[in-house]
Structure 1
Amino acid sequence: MDAIDNSAAVAQEPKKSTAVARFQARETRRKWLVAGCQIAFGLSFLAFWQYSSGHLIDPFFVSSPIAVFAKLWDWTISGYLWYNLSMTLFATGLGFAIGAGIGFVLGILFGRYKFVADVFDPYITAIYSLPKIALAPLFIMWFGIGLASKVAVSAAVVFFLVFLNTFSGVREVNPIYIHATQIMGANSWNVMRTVIIPSATAWVITGLKVSVPYALVGTVIGEFMSANRGIGFVIAQASALFDTTSVFTGLLVLAIVGSLINAGLKLAEGWLLRWRP
């Protein structure tokens, strides 16, 4: 009987390998098709934008792709782009790190201890209901017009997104896993390290992915209100001078940066959640 079972298993191996190969081939074709459609849509949009500028809409209002990319090239070779972009990215990164760190720690704490969550729930809800843009003038009054106020706005936006996702992730952990680990002799720290944090990782990563664009938005809002450098300052200054090309160029830079950061987070998500099927 063992010999028959082994021969049957050996016979099934080629079929499995063929099925896997077909699946991988389909996925590869699908990825290339998606990439081709994305490129085609982008080129079509740029072509329509270029045609519309001057033919359908006054270039004063929409500029044109050629003018925007020419402006971007000028900013790049002159160093103007790198100087202002570095200021925006530094404030965004610092605000993101502070807001995400505090949000993660408090999300774990509130999710783990229900009594603490119940006590602070109305206060968290009340503060979360405030428009974050309304906090920007207050932060400027507290921290001045320098870097600190931009970091504060960015951190405030990121904090709630990471906190709420982490809190939900911790509360969704199956109690059976926690009890099983405790039965095996694990202490509170071991339960946190081996069960709660890994189980909540998907929620945390989702919060981080969602909060990155908002961290950038928070920094740019702060730069709109009071700054003498940064991409937000560049856009605000160009808007005041009715320089539509520079406004679109600044927006393009922000879109590219946001896309690159999101792509990096997707790679990090795949690595952190590699244990999932």
Structure 2
Amino acid sequence: MTIAVDAGPVRVGLERTWWQRHGATTVVWATRVVLLAVLLVLWEIAADRWIDSTFISRPSDIVGRLAEWSADGTLWTNTWITVQEIVYGFLLGAAAGALAGFVLASMNLVYRVLDPFMMALYSIPKVALAPLFIVWFGIGMHMKVLLAAVTVFFLVFLNTAAGVREVDRGLIDAVRLMGGTRRDIARKVVLPASMTGVLTGLKVSIPYALIGAVIGELVASNRGLGYLINDAAAQFDTAGVFATLVVLSVIAGVLNVFVGLIGRRVNRWKPADD
């Protein structure tokens, strides 16, 4: 008589309570909320009591300014303009940086030749490029998008190139021994192994996409969140400046969540963290 035996590991389902599955995340988020609430309360108390509110404003004034700008459409109009500049610049810079990093780092000699030039360009303060970009592209949205893209490009490029060059050579040699072509090595070994570098570059470059777009608006613009910061500062409206910074922080947070979702999908093959 033949007994059929299932091959492969035996999976045992674990009965876990809701708290065992989500308790750690709940504690983290609860702590964050409490910490934020404490900081806001201390800020509200300190304004005009310990520190002149002209310099630090107060949370209630910031909420009031956000409500005022929301009611008259100022916030939505300028936020939408800046969001477009950030997203377009981020996507353009990230795509170009990831592609260039993957291709150039795969060609050892070419990468070694170009590496010092790329580092020299990366070292240039991006704010110094703004006047040059104004001359080349004018003061419209294209200038802000390209300034954000250039800022993002180098961060994604460097992290992607580092990820490609740190791929385990043993895996590459193993694929070659099995008759794999250069295309097989690039698609099945180098690309998956380098995704950690790509995702790191994407996460690190999010605030720099904001910086590039806002710098362009601060230098030359009559709309956008950078313009709101400039206009509020010129009128000593500290609440307006902080309100704009809050909106920029929210945009950065949303982009971080988006990149995190991409990271979870790309890294599904990795063991899940506890």
Letter in 2 for 1:263: V
Farther off after superposition, 263-272 or 38-47? 263-272
1: CA distance, partners of 2:248 / 2:88: 17
1: CA distance, partners of 2:197 / 2:23: 30
Measured in 2, the distance between the counterparts of 1:97 and 1:156 equals 11
Q: Describe how 1:194-205 pairs up with structure 2 within 5 A.
A: 194-205=188-199
Q: Distance in 2 between matches of 1:32 and 1:193?
A: 39
Question: The residue matched to 1:54 in structure 2 has which SS?
Answer: coil
Q: Give the Cα–Cα distance (whole angstroms) in 1 for the partners of residues 249 and 35 of structure 2.
A: 16
Query: Does 186-195 or 204-213 show the bigger shift?
Result: 186-195
Pick the aligned partner of 2:14 from 17, 23, 31: 17
In terms of fraction of residues, the more helix-rich structure is 1
Which residue of 2 is the match for residue 64 of structure 1? 58
User: Structure 1 residue 192 and structure 2 residue 186: aligned?
Assistant: yes
Report the equivalent of 2:212.
Answer: 218
Distance 2:28 2:115 in 1: 44
Equivalent residue runs for 1:25-104 within 5 Å:
25-26=19-20, 28-104=22-98
Deviations 1:216-266 (A, max 9, x none): 111001100000110011001111111111111101111111112112211
Once the two structures are overlaid, the 10-residue window that deviates more, 204-213 or 179-188, is: 179-188
- Cα offset, 1:17, TM superposition: 3.0
Specify the alignment match of 1:133 in structure 2.
127
Alignment of 1:95-114 (within 5 A): 95-114=89-108
SS in 2 for 1:185: coil
Residue 25 of structure 1, CA deviation: 4.2
CA deviation after TM superposition for structure 1 residue 183, in Å:
3.3
Q: Which letter maps to 1:230?
A: G
Provide the residue aligned with 2:138 in structure 1: 144
Deviations 1:160-181 (A, max 9, x none): 1000010001001112222322
Q: Which amino acid aligns with 1:95?
A: G
Deviations 1:128-160 (A, max 9, x none): 121111111111111111112111211111011
The number of residues matched between the two structures is 266
Query: What displacement does 1:125 show?
Result: 1.7
Gaps of 5+ in 1: 4-8
| Aligned AA (1:247) | V
- Aligned counterpart, 2:6: none
Identity of aligned residues (%): 39
RMSD: 2.2
Please state whether the residue corresponding to 1:46 is helix, strand or coil: helix
TM-score by length of 1: 0.89
User: TM-score by structure 2 length?
Assistant: 0.90
Deviation at 1:41, TM superposition (A): 0.7
Could you report, residue by residue, the CA deviation over 1:63-107 in whole angstroms, capped at 9, with x for unpaired residues?
111111111122223221111111111111111111111111110
- Name stretches of at least 5 consecutive residues in structure 2 with no aligned partner: 4-8
